[in-house]
Chains A and B, each alone.
Chain A
Amino acid sequence: MTTAAISTIRRAAWILVLWTAVCLLLYATFAAVHYPWNWMGAWGYRTQFMWGWLTTLGISICAMLFSIAVGFLLMCGRRFPSEPVHLLASGIVEVLRGSPLLVQLLVGYYIIANALQVNSPLLVGTVLLGCFHGAYLAEVFRGAVESIGASQREAARAVGFDALQTYRYVIIPQAVRRALPGTTGQLVSLIKDSSLLSVIGIEELVQKVRILNSSSYTALEGYLPLAVAYLLMTLPLSWWARRLERRFAYET
């Protein structure tokens, strides 16, 4: 047997052992509290649950794309030589990162969107969620861009690249790899933070589960599938990010 095959088998064995241990532990805990399960009550709301999941998925995907764009723009703003632009971008980052998302959602929807006569909670919620996480991403991106050393910038200029080409061909390709782990973590947070959008009346997954629980007199029957439903979104994201990291892997 090859060493690769042995290490695969060993890995599988460990995963099995750990899974069994965790399941036993969970079973023992639940057995100890004598929880009265009522899965039939929760099952009746499966369509509602599916709709909630799809809403959360849709909002998350749009907000993720938007947050990456916002993060990139704010990062460029913070690195811009002109002082007003730099100050504005820094100010936006600090305010968005420093204040609670809950307050941003309430003020953004009931005051700002109202004043602008935008009435779609879905649109406003997605934009606000994207802005909040975009501010964090701006700093992740800035760290990655600033970690590209002066000698790489000089080499880029020496081969004749102008400022834009230096970013396009030298800095961004190298920075993407360094920004990937931090970005993945932020996007996973974004998915989970989408649950706060219920405060502006969006019936996303968590809100659907609250409704389900209160109408069928259940709790864990809603919340356990809820956790699984979130993992179904976050785990593929992490897996995909790890693949990307491997694709970008090279020694420096």
Chain B
Amino acid sequence: MKLEAQEVVKTFGKSTALSGATFATDADASVVALLGPSGGGKSTLLRILGSLLVPESGVILQDGTALPRDPEGALRTLRHNGFVFQGYNLFPHLTALQNVVLPLQAVHGLTRERARARAHDWLERLGLADHLHKRPAELSGGQQQRAAIARALAPEPKLLLLDEPTSALDPVMTGEVLEVIRGLAEAGQQIVLATHEISFARQVANWVIFLAAGRVEESCRAASFFQEPASALARQYVAGLSKYR
């Protein structure tokens, strides 16, 4: 999928998250990694790319089509996307199964039986067959995040957007979740991933967008980015992260 941004600006009150972000990926960019220091605008850009937020100005294009800016259009577009967040954000009053079933029924119009069957299927595929009827508080962090991934994937989204999906997890659980994401990427799922897991991005991503201070510093093929980042900031960032891993 070709993703494009032109002069995208997004502010929250007095703070500016994105100050004129511009980039364009190639048409065959299937796994796009958003890299960069914290507070650089990764999460904001990810939400805008998925229509969860609408920018103040600027245009986002998916395969040449501009994303709608009106609330209803944005909601319609975002229903084709799946989101996974840093803090899992499952609904605590529902079981893992209900978390996946509810959007399928209420948003995507599946019958109860079909929704349950599909949710069952996804949770099983992500290794949660024994935990279908547990509430989020009864699951480990890694299990919660895998349930959240199942919830995002069950409606078969065009684009899966993951916002630092492993930042709240210990190394073992991080491994579990990264394994799932790698499997999805290999199966051809379109992915946008904001992450600090630089070595994972190196293995899985085929396009990198490097953001710092609300601007796109670099947007290029992953291979060339990891070989030699063009901007000094990116070089520093990669060197800093690679030092201890």
A residues with a Cβ closer than 8 A to B are 151-152, 154-162, 165, 169-170, 173-174, 177, 248, 250-252
Contacts and interface: CB of A to CB of B under 8 A. Distances in A.
A151 B87 contact: yes
A159 B85 CA distance: 12
A161 B79 CA distance: 9
Contact of A250 (B87, B92, B106, B155): B92
Contact of B83 (A158, A174, A252): A158
B135 interface: yes
A160 B50 CA distance: 11
A173 B107 contact: no
A29 to B, nearest CB: 48
A247 B75 CA distance: 34
Given A165-B106, A251-B135, A158 B52 contact: yes
Interface residues of B, number: 24
B151 interface: yes
B20 interface: no
Contacts of A161: 103, 106-107
B92 A252 contact: yes
A157 B92 CA distance: 16
B93 A154 contact: no
A176 to B, nearest CB: 9
B151 A159 contact: yes
4 nearest A-B residue pairs (beta carbon):
A251-B137, A155-B89, A160-B107, A158-B83
A248 B135 CA distance: 12
A251 B91 CA distance: 11
B137 A162 contact: no
A165 B89 contact: no
B33 interface: no
Contacts, number: 63
Nearest to B89: A155
B69 to A, nearest CB: 16
A160 B89 contact: no
Given A157-B78, A159-B151, A174-B93, A250 B103 contact: no
Contacts of B234: none
Contacts of B83: 155, 158-159
Given A151-B85, A155-B90, A251-B92, A160 B137 contact: no
B173 interface: no
Interface of B: 50, 52, 75, 78-79, 83, 85, 87, 89-93, 102-103, 106-108, 135, 137-138, 151-152, 155
B19 to A, nearest CB: 23
A170 B106 CA distance: 12
B29 to A, nearest CB: 22
A170 to B, nearest CB: 6
Nearest to A173: B93
9 contacts: A151-B85, A155-B85, A155-B91, A156-B91, A160-B155, A162-B75, A170-B91, A174-B92, A252-B137
Contacts of B138: 251
B78 A151 contact: no
Contacts of A251: 92, 135, 137-138
A159 B52 contact: no
Contacts of A154: 52, 85, 89
A155 B89 CA distance: 6
Contact of A159 (B92, B103, B137): B103
A248 B92 CA distance: 11
Given A151-B85, A170-B91, 13 more contacts: A152-B91, A155-B83, A155-B91, A156-B91, A157-B52, A158-B52, A160-B79, A160-B107, A169-B91, A177-B93, A248-B93, A250-B137, A252-B92
Contacts of B155: 160
A165 B104 CA distance: 13
Contact of B78 (A160, A165, A169, A173): A160
Nearest to B102: A169
Contacts of A155: 83, 85, 89-91
Residue of A154, A160, A173, A174 ringed by the most chain B CB atoms within 10 A: A160
A245 to B, nearest CB: 13
